[in-house]
A and B are shown apart, each in its own frame.
Chain A
Amino acid sequence: MTASVLAAGVLEDTIRAFFQGLPIGAGFALVAMSFVLTYKTSGVFNLAFGAQAFISAATYFELHVRRDWPIWSAVLVAVVLVAPVLGLLLERLIFRHVHASSAVAKLVISLGLLVALPELFKLIVDYNREQPFGAVGIIPDGTTVYRLFGRYPVTRDEIAAFVIVVAAALALAALFRYTRLGLRIRAVVQSPRMTELNGVNADWVSSGSWMLSSFFAGLAGVLLVPTTSSLGTVLEPTGYFPIVISALAAAALGRLVSLPAAMFGGLLLGVVTTQMRTHVPRDNVILAELQGPALPYVMLFAIIVFWPAIRRQVAGADPLLGVSPPPPALAATSRSKGMTIYTRIMALAFFTAVGIWTFGYANNFWISRITHSVIFSIIFLSIVVFTGLGGQIALCQVTFAAIGAFGAMQFAQRWDISVIVGMLAGAAIAAAVGAVLSIPVMRLGGIWLAIATLAFALFFHDVLVKYSWVGGSLFHGRGVPRPEFLGVDFSSRENFLILCVAILVLVGVLVILIRESSTGMALRALRGSETAAESIGVISWRSRVIVFSVSAGIAAIGGGLLAMEERLVGYEANFDPQTGLFWLVIVVVLGARTVEGGIQAGVAFVIFPELVLHRWLGLDGAWRFVLFGFAAISFARHPEGLLEHGKRRSQAMMQRMFARRQPTMATAGAAAGAGPPTDAGAETGDEP
Chain B
Amino acid sequence: MSLLVADGITKRFAGITAVNDVHIALDAGERVGLIGPNGAGKTTLFNCLLGLLRPDAGSVSFDGQNITRLPVYRRARLGIGRTFQRVELFSGSSVRDHLLFAHRIRSGTGALWKDVLGLGLPKPDEIERCDALLESLGLGGMGDEPIEALSLGQSRLVEVARALMTQPRVVLLDEPSSGLDRAETTALAETLARIQSEQDFGMLLVEHDVELVASFTERTYVLNFGKLITHGPTPEVMGDPEVRAAYLGDFVAGTS
Chain A residues packing against B (C-beta within 8 Å): 329, 332-334, 510, 513-514, 516-522, 524-525, 527-529, 531-540, 546, 550, 688
Contact = CB atoms under 8 A, between A and B. Distances in A.
A517 B126 CA distance: 13
B202 interface: no
B110 A517 contact: yes
Contacts of A333: 92
A518 B120 contact: yes
Nearest to A525: B90
Interface string B177-210: 0000000000000000000000000000000000
Contacts of A528: 88-93, 147
B114 interface: yes
B163 A531 contact: no
Contacts of B71: 534
A536 B97 contact: no
Given A535-B72, A536-B166, A537-B76, A514 B115 contact: yes
Given A521-B97, A529-B90, A536-B163, A334 B146 contact: yes
B160 to A, nearest CB: 12
Contacts of B116: 510, 513-514
A624 B148 CA distance: 37
Contacts of B245: none
B81 A535 contact: yes
B163 A513 contact: no
Given A521-B97, A550-B112, A531 B73 contact: no
B115 to A, nearest CB: 4
A536 B76 contact: yes
Contacts of B118: 513
Contacts of A518: 101, 104, 109-111, 114-115, 120
A298 to B, nearest CB: 30
A334 B120 CA distance: 19
B12 interface: no
A521 B73 contact: no
A533 B90 contact: yes
Given A518-B110, A534-B72, A536-B105, A524 B92 contact: yes
A529 B105 contact: no
Of A522, A525, A528, A535, most B-chain CB atoms within 10 Å: A535
B93 A525 contact: yes
B174 to A, nearest CB: 10
Question: DSSP class of A's interface residues: helix, strand, loop or mixed?
Answer: helix
B67 interface: no
Contacts of B90: 524-525, 527-529, 532-533
The 7 tightest CB contacts between A and B, nearest first, are A517-B120, A518-B110, A528-B90, A332-B92, A517-B115, A537-B76, A532-B88
Interface string B84-106: 10001111111001101110111
Contacts of A510: 116
A535 B76 contact: yes
A331 to B, nearest CB: 9
A521 B163 CA distance: 16
Interface residues of B, number: 45
B244 interface: no
Given A518-B115, A537-B77, A513 B162 contact: no
B82 interface: yes
B16 interface: no
B111 A521 contact: no
Nearest to A546: B112
B213 interface: no
B253 interface: no
22 contacts: A329-B92, A332-B91, A333-B92, A517-B115, A517-B119, A518-B114, A519-B110, A521-B93, A522-B101, A525-B101, A527-B92, A528-B88, A528-B93, A529-B89, A532-B88, A535-B88, A535-B163, A536-B162, A536-B166, A537-B73, A538-B105, A546-B112
Nearest to A519: B115
A534 B76 contact: yes
Given A518-B115, A546-B112, A536 B102 contact: yes
Interface in B33-69: 50
A525 B110 CA distance: 14
Interface in B160-179: 162-163, 165-166
A543 to B, nearest CB: 9
A546 B88 CA distance: 24
Nearest to B101: A521
A688 B122 CA distance: 26
Of B104, B109, B159, most A-chain CB atoms within 10 Å: B104
B146 A521 contact: no
Nearest to A539: B73
Contacts of B82: 535
Nearest to A528: B90
Contacts of A522: 101, 110
B84 A532 contact: yes
Contacts of A521: 93, 97, 100-101, 104, 110
Of B90, B106, B114, B121, most A-chain CB atoms within 10 Å: B90
A279 to B, nearest CB: 41
Interface string B112-151: 1011101111100000000000000000000000111000
A538 B105 CA distance: 7
Contacts of A516: 120-122
A532 B89 contact: yes
Nearest to A593: B92
A518 B71 CA distance: 22
B99 to A, nearest CB: 10
Contacts of A540: 73
